[in-house]
Structure 1
Amino acid sequence: MTISVVVADDQELVRSGFALILDTQADMRVVAEASDGFAAIEAVRAHRPQVLLLDIRMPGMDGIEAARVVCGETDTRVLMLTTFDQDDYVYDALCAGASGFLLKDVRRDDLVRAVQVVADGDSLLAPSVTRRLIDDMVSRRPRQAPAGLDLLTARERETLTLLGRGLSNAEIAAAFVVSEHTVKTHVSNLFAKLGLRDRVQAVITAYESGLIRPGG
């Protein structure tokens, strides 16, 4: 199956460079490019891509607002582009529904792999920089129990805690001594009860609710 992608970045060289890399992949097709948030939203509405590669800092409407609209209206998965040492807005982008982020100096193979991972419905949680980022951002904000947390069963709450620590379904299954299918059911149920889009939002929820402490 071919993965359809929209690339949005106000820097033409960056945008065209990423588009060229992705378009050369046998299983990917860039269906549109956009130079700002408004154009990115229109491109998504017109083409309904599986993945939107979206810069955080753009003129007119920034990537955070664009991500909020796209994630609220469509099933398109959003992969944010950022410079880690300058952007303090990545956490807001993840809360808006983005499924992860990439540094703009990402290697070619990592870019391709990231788009594949997000298109498959997973999230970019593996890089340690993601955990450090969430640690940092959540530590600055007051914790509050998200709506629906009290609806979780004890096992679903334990699952959310382990998701917050970055464990995969297989690792959670090993910890619970159950099948991976059972873990997938727990994950699906807690996502539905909490209104979560993916594992990134589960991590954020685990932190904000106090199930996971920054640095823990």
Structure 2
Amino acid sequence: MTLRVLLCDDHPLFLDGIAAALSAAEDIEVVAAAATGEEGIRLAGELRPDLVVMDLGLPDMSGLDAIRRLPGVPVLVLSMSEDDPTVLAALKAGARGYLAKLAGRSEILHAVRTVAAGGAVFSGGVADRLMAFLTRPAGPVAPCAFPELTGREREVLELLARGHDNHRIARSLFLSEKTVRNHVSHIFTKLSVRDRAEAVARARNARLGETPGQKQGQGQGQDQGRNPGQE
């Protein structure tokens, strides 16, 4: 049986790459690609694919809202964001799988087949973070960090917290450096911070930018005064 897959992502280069990777498999057909949430919802209703591969940072709405509005189609999330609140929000919205965008082709193919068949798949980093979150001592549920930011701005802030400069962020998100600078400026305004160092400090205090296996709190007090590149 051929799996019919709908892609929903506003990064043209990423869309081309993931479409080529999936179409090369004999058992997978990419039936359409959408660049906005509304387009993805419409195409999912018209084409009834077996699976939707969804980015969370869409230009017209949050990918989480798009997932909630899909007509009962299994969803695999491919995102740059791997923080606990985002992963949990995606699962609550109805996603059956969650991979980092840096996942390899074989991992993505396995995830597509598994989620389409009714299973659940998480990349190693996401699974580690999810397990750590679920096994923490009970306490107040932390709200989603920085709800005032758009999905794309959260992705940029996540990479800022990892110490990436504008050039590296642009390459990671398939954006122009000018677009990244605009996102950084919007982040400064919405978070009421003066510079990158303050934005990074806020992000790390909210546990954005942590890599799998980092000890809780490790690095939060380090490099907060660094200014890795200018806006």
Smaller-chain TM-score bracket: 0.5 to 0.7
Instruction: List per-residue Cα deviations over 1:58-99 (Å, max 9, x = no partner).
Output: 1111210011111xx32x110001124568422111101100
Q: Which whole-Å CA distance do the structure 1 matches of 2:51 and 2:129 have between them?
A: 25
Matched, 1:53 2:50: no
DSSP 3-state at the match of 1:42? helix
Query: For residues 12 and 87 of structure 1, do their structure 2 counterparts lie closer, same or farther at Cα, with a shift above 3 Å needed?
Result: farther
For 2:17, the aligned partner's letter is G
Compute the displacement of 1:15 (Å): 1.0
**How high is the TM-score relative to the length of structure 1?**
0.59
Which has the larger helix fraction? 1
Query: For residues 69 and 126 of structure 1, do their structure 2 counterparts lie closer, same or farther at Cα, with a shift above 3 Å needed?
Result: same
Compute the displacement of 1:16 (Å): 1.4
Q: Which whole-Å CA distance do the structure 2 matches of 1:98 and 1:136 have between them?
A: 18
Aligned equivalent of 2:110: 113
DSSP 3-state at the match of 1:89? helix
Cα RMSD, aligned residues only:
2.6
What stretches of structure 1 of length at least 5 have no aligned partner?
A: 144-216
Q: Mapping of 1:2-151 within 5 angstroms? A: 2-70=2-70, 73-74=71-72, 76-85=73-82, 88-125=85-122, 127=124, 129-133=126-130, 135-136=132-133, 142=141
Aligned equivalent of 1:159: none
**How high is the TM-score relative to the length of structure 2?**
0.55
Compute the displacement of 1:137 (Å): 7.6
For 1:118, the aligned partner's letter is V
Aligned equivalent of 1:171: none
Q: Which whole-Å CA distance do the structure 1 matches of 2:84 and 2:16 have between them?
A: 22
Compute the displacement of 1:133 (Å): 2.9
Compute the displacement of 1:130 (Å): 1.9
For 1:20, the aligned partner's letter is A
For the 8 Å contact 1:8–1:37, the answer to whether it is kept is yes
Length, aligned pairs only: 141
Q: Which whole-Å CA distance do the structure 2 matches of 1:122 and 1:79 have between them?
A: 11
Same amino acid, percent of matched pairs: 33
DSSP 3-state at the match of 1:91? helix
Query: For residues 14 and 137 of structure 1, do their structure 2 counterparts lie closer, same or farther at Cα, with a shift above 3 Å needed?
Result: farther
